[in-house]
Amino acid sequence: MKYIGQTNEYFEVTYINAQNQGELTDVATTQLMFLWFDTDGNKITIDGKTYTFQTNQIVCLTEFHRLQLHQINGLKLLKFNRPFYCIVHQDSEVGCKGILYFGSSNLPIIEPQPQDLQTLQTAWDMLCLEMQSSQDNLQLEMLQMMLQRMLILCTRIYKVQTNFQYQDQDQADLVRNFNFLVEQHFREKHTVAAYAELLFKSPKTLSNVFKKTGNKTPLELIHNRKMIEARRLLRHSSQSISDIGFELGFNDIQAFSRFFKKQEGMTAKDFRA
C-alpha cells in the first residue's frame, strides 16, 4: 500500500518476503525504512557487517545504508521520504534523531518485550486501516501521526533497552546531537575536540557524559563511523584504497591502512577481496 501526496510525500506499508525482497534495496534519495521482522533467520549484510534478525526485532535504516540480502523470510516494512516526515526537522515531536536514525556508528536493533508487542501491533493495525481508507485532505496528517506513534514507541523501547532513559534530558540530548553531528561531519572532523566545539562543550564534558552512559567513548564512535563508510566504499565502489582513505580524511594510504587493520583485524585489501 502506497500513499503519494500532492507535494511528493511518499509513504509505503508492505510485507516483504523472498519474492519481493528487492524493495529493501530500492531506496530513493531521502527515504528512510522501518523493518519489523516477524520470522526468524533473516540474514542481511549491512555496511559490511552481517546480521541475522529474528522474530520481532526492529531496525531503522536510511538511504545511506548499503544492504546485501542473503535470506529474507518475512518482515513488515514502512518506507517514507523527507517530504512525508522529516526526522531531523521534526525531531522535537519524536526524539529519535541520533537514536533510531542517523546514529553515528551503531545499528540500533530494537527488541520489544512481550508487554510492548501488543501496543506496537495495535499501532501497526491502525496504520494499515488508515492506508486502506479513501484518501481525503486529512489522510496525510493521520498517517504522519501514526508513523510518529510507531517511532515514539520504538524510541522508548530502545531507551529502556540501552539504559538511555536513566540519563537526564540534557545528557540525553547531548549524546543524540553528538551522534547526529558525527553522521554529518565524519569525513572532515576527526577529533572529539572538533565536535565539542560544535556543541559548545569541552572534550572532557563529552567524555564524562559518555562514560556515564556506559557506551563507547566519543572517539570510538567517530572511528566506528569512519569504519562503516570505509566498509561501504570498499564493498560497493570501484574507488582505489588510497582514494577511499583520502575521502575519509587520511593524508596517506599508510595511515589509512594502519587504521583499518587496527579496527577490522585485516587489511583493506583483504577486506575488499
**Which residues, listed in sequence order, are joined to residue 37 by a DSSP beta bridge?**
75
Q: Which strand ranges, in their side-by-side order, compose the sheet holding 75-80?
A: 2-4, 10-16, 75-80, 32-37, 58-61, 109-110
- pLDDT-derived band of residue 84, with 50, 70 and 90 as boundaries? confident
Contact predicate 227/233, CB 8 Å:
no
Give percent of the chain with pLDDT exceeding 70. Answer: 89
270 grid coordinates: 583483504
Q: Give DSSP secondary structure letters for 163-212.
A: TGGGS-HHHHHHHHHHHHHHHHHTTT--SHHHHHHHTT--HHHHHHHHHH
CATH code that applies to domain 2-165 = 2.60.120.280
Query: Does residue 51 surpass a pLDDT of 70?
Result: yes
The span from the CA of 206 to the CA of 96, in Å, is 20
Q: Where are the domains of the chain?
A: 2-165, 169-272
The span from the CA of 89 to the CA of 241, in Å, is 36
**Which residues, listed in sequence order, are joined to residue 3 by a DSSP beta bridge?**
11
**Which residues, listed in sequence order, are joined to residue 75 by a DSSP beta bridge?**
16, 37
- pLDDT-derived band of residue 88, with 50, 70 and 90 as boundaries? low
161 grid coordinates: 533497552
**Which residues, listed in sequence order, are joined to residue 58 by a DSSP beta bridge?**
36, 110
CATH code that applies to domain 169-272 = 1.10.10.60
Cβ atoms within 10 A of the Cβ of 78, count? 20
**Which residues, listed in sequence order, are joined to residue 43 by a DSSP beta bridge?**
52, 71
Judge residue 152's burial from the number of C-beta atoms within 10 Å of its C-beta, 0-12 exposed, 13-18 middle, 19 or more buried.
middle
Give percent of the chain with pLDDT exceeding 90. Answer: 26
The span from the CA of 271 to the CA of 225, in Å, is 17
Query: Does residue 144 surpass a pLDDT of 80?
Result: yes
**Which residues, listed in sequence order, are joined to residue 187 by a DSSP beta bridge?**
none
- pLDDT-derived band of residue 34, with 50, 70 and 90 as boundaries? very high
* pLDDT value, residue 104: 55
Q: Per residue in 168-177, pLDDT tens?
A: 667 767 777 7
Q: For residue 230, what are the contacts with CB-CB under 8 A and spacing of at least 6?
A: 244, 248, 256, 260, 268
Global pTM value? 0.69
The span from the CA of 104 to the CA of 125, in Å, is 32
- pLDDT-derived band of residue 103, with 50, 70 and 90 as boundaries? low
Contact predicate 110/154, CB 8 Å:
yes
The residue to which cell 561501504 is assigned: 232
